[in-house]
Amino acid sequence: MPRLLIVAHTKRKPEIEPVLRKLLPWLRKLAAVDAVVRDDQSDLSQVNSDLIVVFGGDGTMLSVARRLRGNATPVLGVNMGQLGFLAEVPHFEVRKLLPRVLKGECVLSPRMMLRVRAAQKGRRKEMNFVALNDAVLLRLPKAAMMTVGVSVSGEEIARYKGDGLIVSTATGSTGYSLSAGGPILSERLKAFIMVPICPHTLANRPIVLSGDERLEIVPETRSGSPVELVMDGQESISLTGGTTVTIERAPYEFNIVTVGRKGRYEIIRDKLHWAGWVKEGR
């Protein structure tokens, strides 16, 4: 029998528990359930299952992607709320679609991830993080406008002045990056999007860079206040001015299972309320 690991953050989202309770007896007949992880802290890097089934939404999928840290186990997202970009399967269609996935009637969609390193002055140890959607440098609420110096693979590219800087993957291009004026990229592209947040000059525009390049970012604030480094909108640390943040393509990817229920662009149309084509005869 195939082996499943179930991830359901029932402690944070108790509404998932009754749905999971109804499905678990059926799941245990369908496959060997290795464990049910109900928290959002457990390390998943040593998981040895055939498939991880995540009950939640895109936020839960982002958390799982970071906690896998290179574990290539494929992940199927079961959406418990509104239409999501990452959690594709509605919970009421699990009984119909999961058997198809276990038979191999699905597609694996590898997604580029970011490796983020922060070398802070006065600290010997470098801080390391990963992100699936984006890494964002933000001025703290009481801080003055910040300046962000950016180099790409050793070449200085710009000094942005404003509220911060977003570095996004193609997967994250429909998130914070989009709301700040960045482009939408196909998730198949291994690329970075660099988007200044509320730039002081209109000449500062989003830039798309190859995923093979390396970004070095040094943030400063006029007041000397710390700045915030945020991964996927979920994990954050405060950095002192002069800290060098290095962002590059992670040496591994996050493997999402898709069942073709909706294409990425159909999801984008639905989420962003774009008009779709009207088929002949309708």
Does residue 94 form part of some domain? yes
Together in a domain, 44 and 99:
yes
Are 168 and 182 contacting, i.e. CB atoms less than 8 angstroms apart? Answer: yes
Does residue 165 form part of some domain? yes
Q: pLDDT higher for 100 or 226?
A: 100
Together in a domain, 119 and 242:
yes
**pLDDT at residue 143, rounded to an integer:** 73
Confidence of residue 88 (pLDDT cuts 50, 70, 90): confident
**pLDDT at residue 261, rounded to an integer:** 65
Together in a domain, 153 and 42:
no
Together in a domain, 100 and 144:
no
Name 163's Cβ contacts closer than 8 Å, sequence gap at least 6.
138, 139, 145, 146, 197, 198
pLDDT higher than threshold 70 for residue 278: no
**pLDDT at residue 222, rounded to an integer:** 78
- Of 261, 282, 274, 254, nearest in space to 58 by CA: 254
Q: What is the mean pLDDT of the chain?
A: 91
Together in a domain, 21 and 81:
yes
Q: pLDDT higher for 268 or 230?
A: 230
Together in a domain, 119 and 197:
yes
Count of domains in the chain?
Answer: 2
Are 130 and 114 contacting, i.e. CB atoms less than 8 angstroms apart? Answer: yes
The least confident of 18-32, 133-147, 257-271 is 257-271
Rounded distance between C-alpha atoms, residue 217 and residue 118, angstroms: 9
Are 101 and 74 contacting, i.e. CB atoms less than 8 angstroms apart? Answer: no
Together in a domain, 126 and 204:
yes
Together in a domain, 165 and 221:
yes
**pLDDT at residue 171, rounded to an integer:** 96
Dihedral sign of CA atoms 265, 269, 270, 275 in order: negative
Does residue 277 form part of some domain? no
**pLDDT at residue 81, rounded to an integer:** 73
Does residue 278 form part of some domain? no
Does residue 245 form part of some domain? yes
Residue range 33-54, pLDDT digits in tens? 999 999 999 999 999 999 999 9
Q: In which domain, by residue range, is 242 found?
A: 113-251
pLDDT higher than threshold 90 for residue 115: yes
Mean pLDDT of 137-162: 90
We report the CATH number of the domain holding residue 148 as 2.60.200.30
**pLDDT at residue 245, rounded to an integer:** 97
The contacts found for 271-274 with CB under 8 angstroms, 24 or more apart, are 271/83, 271/85, 271/174
Together in a domain, 210 and 158:
yes
Residue range 129-146, pLDDT digits in tens? 999 999 999 988 777 789
Task: Strand 227-231: give its sheet, edge to edge.
Answer: 207-210, 191-197, 164-168, 134-139, 227-231, 235-239
Confidence of residue 183 (pLDDT cuts 50, 70, 90): very high
Mean pLDDT of 162-174: 96
Together in a domain, 268 and 214:
no
Together in a domain, 121 and 240:
yes
Confidence of residue 65 (pLDDT cuts 50, 70, 90): very high
**pLDDT at residue 223, rounded to an integer:** 76
Together in a domain, 143 and 72:
no
Residue numbers annotated as active site: 58
Does residue 234 form part of some domain? yes
**pLDDT at residue 273, rounded to an integer:** 79
We report the CATH number of the domain holding residue 94 as 3.40.50.10330
Does residue 281 form part of some domain? no
Predicted structure pTM score: 0.92
Does residue 22 form part of some domain? yes
